């Protein structure tokens, strides 16, 4: 069976969940083969994890280039492995970096690319990807008609499923092309201890309805009870109540969690564009006519400062 290359995103020696989702999807369209780049001493553990989730083969490449330069070394490696393995498709996570890597790999391979897929299935002419477009008003199914399909997939498209496979490691020597942007300094981001917004299975977001920066306290408390990430509408972010990095929407981050809770958010089209593909949507808004109620699975008409603390207390009580 033809190999489906999966670029394994990892941090601090741990495989990120979206990479396990890609391996799960890859099994539908061929034989998953993981590509682990720049993992250093953690490479063996990462390869083993990829094997647990269905990778028959794991291509491992190391080198200071992966840490010292941006994007291009990964493009060099992925394109060279795809050619050598005669891969049937290349899957990459739809992060900012992932999409840049994928676009450059597609260019190197002379292939078509599909970005931000939310589902993947086998088709007669190759893998068929589903995209959710125009603020999630339409589902589009498409396939690459030229070259090795390069597809980026949004986090949370599928639940990762373990499926032990050989995970046979093949060490690869990459011919680096150089000419890359070089990292000159790094500043660790202050961690909130919460999951990464775009990868989180649950997101709790606050909007202008929280009234002030302090109003996000009830949003954070619910998020922490649920083990969720915190999002914000642009109105809340522009007011300076929450960091720009947490903005959800057309000009913010695109999220697609299992559960999205919108508190004090009206549901403007630009906000919907970033969250409408969430599997289950819950809104709390004191205005029964708020547009957000048009797309929710569950809606609560009420004051968020009354509803959220009750919800938090109930979640904590059930968790015990």
- Summarize as ranges the residues that interact with ligand FAD (CB under 6 A): 207-209, 233-236, 247-252, 264-266, 268, 270-271, 274, 284-287, 290, 303-305
Q: Which element (helix H / strand E) includes 100? A: helix 96-109
Cβ-based neighbours of 204, under 8 Å, separated by 6 or more: 219, 222, 223, 226, 228, 229, 230, 231, 261, 263
Question: Is 251 annotated among the ligand-binding residues?
Answer: yes
Is 130 labelled as part of a ligand binding site?
no
Between 132 and 233, whose beta carbon lies closer to ligand FAD?
233
β 138-142/128-133 pair status: antiparallel
Cβ-closest position to ligand FAD: 249
Q: Do residues 88 and 111 touch, judged by C-beta distance below 8 A?
A: no
Q: How far is the CB of 209 from ligand FAD (least distance, A)?
A: 3
State the Cα–Cα distance between residues 218 and 220, nearest whole angstrom: 5
Q: Closest approach of Cβ 195 to ligand FAD, in Å?
A: 20
CB of 246 to ligand FAD, least distance (A): 11
Looking at beta carbons only, is 155 or 252 nearer to ligand FAD?
Answer: 252
* Residues paired with 261 in a beta bridge: 204, 282
- Within the chain, strands assigned E span 3-7, 10-11, 14-15, 31-37, 57-61, 89-93, 113-121, 128-133, 138-142, 150-153, 168-171, 202-206, 229-232, 259-263, 280-285, 298-301
Nearer to ligand FAD, 20 or 237 (CB): 237
Say if residue 156 carries a ligand binding annotation.
no
- The nearer residue to ligand FAD, 251 or 310, going by C-beta atoms, is 251
Residue 95 annotated as binding site: no
Q: Is 145 annotated as a binding residue?
A: no
- Residue 85 vs 263, nearer CB to ligand FAD: 263
> Coil, strand or helix: which one is 268?
coil
Nearest to 24 by CA among 172, 160, 199, 176: 160
CB of 222 to ligand FAD, least distance (A): 13
Assigned token pair, 210: 């929280």
Q: What is the DSSP letter of 67?
A: H
**Beta carbon of residue 258, minimum distance to ligand FAD (angstroms, whole number):** 20
> Was 266 annotated as part of a binding site?
yes
233 is in an annotated binding site: yes
> At its nearest, how many Å lie between ligand FAD and the CB of residue 217?
13
Nearer to ligand FAD among residue 136 and residue 236 (C-beta):
236
Number of residues written out for the chain: 320
Which residues carry a binding-site annotation? 208, 233-234, 247-251, 264-271, 285
Which residues carry a binding-site annotation for FAD? 208, 233-234, 247-251, 264-271, 285
């Amino acid at each position: 069976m033809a190999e489906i290359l999966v670029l394994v995103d990892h941090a601090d020696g741990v495989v990120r969940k979206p990479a396990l989702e890609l391996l799960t999807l890859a099994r539908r369209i061929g034989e998953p083969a993981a590509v682990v780049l720049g993992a250093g001493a953690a490479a063996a553990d990462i390869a083993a994890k990829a094997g647990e989730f269905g990778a028959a083969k794991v291509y491992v490449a190391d080198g200071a280039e992966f840490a010292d330069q941006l994007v291009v070394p990964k493009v060099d490696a992925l394109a060279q492995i795809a050619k050598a393995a005669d891969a049937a498709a290349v899957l990459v996570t739809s992060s900012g970096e992932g999409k840049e890597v994928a676009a450059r790999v597609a260019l190197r391979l002379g292939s078509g690319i599909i970005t931000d897929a939310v589902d993947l299935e086998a088709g007669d002419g190759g893998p068929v990807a589903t995209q959710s477009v125009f603020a999630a008003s339409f589902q589009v199914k498409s396939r690459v008609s030229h070259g090795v399909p390069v597809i980026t997939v949004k986090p949370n498209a599928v639940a990762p499923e373990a499926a032990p496979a050989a995970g046979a490691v093949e060490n690869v020597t990459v011919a680096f092309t150089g000419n890359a942007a070089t990292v000159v300094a790094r500043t660790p981001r202050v961690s909130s201890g919460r999951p990464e917004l775009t990868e989180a299975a649950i997101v709790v977001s606050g909007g202008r309805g929280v009234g002030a920066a302090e109003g996000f306290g009830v949003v954070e408390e619910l998020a922490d009870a649920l083990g969720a990430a915190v999002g914000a509408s642009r109105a809340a972010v522009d007011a300076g109540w929450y960091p720009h990095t947490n903005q959800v929407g057309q000009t913010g981050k695109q999220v697609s969690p299992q559960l999205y809770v919108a508190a004090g958010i009206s549901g403007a089209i630009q906000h919907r564009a970033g969250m409408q593909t969430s599997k289950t949507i819950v809104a709390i808004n004191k205005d029964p006519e708020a547009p957000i109620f048009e797309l929710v699975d569950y809606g609560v008409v009420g004051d968020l400062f009354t509803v959220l603390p009750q919800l938090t207390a109930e979640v904590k009580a059930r968790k015990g």
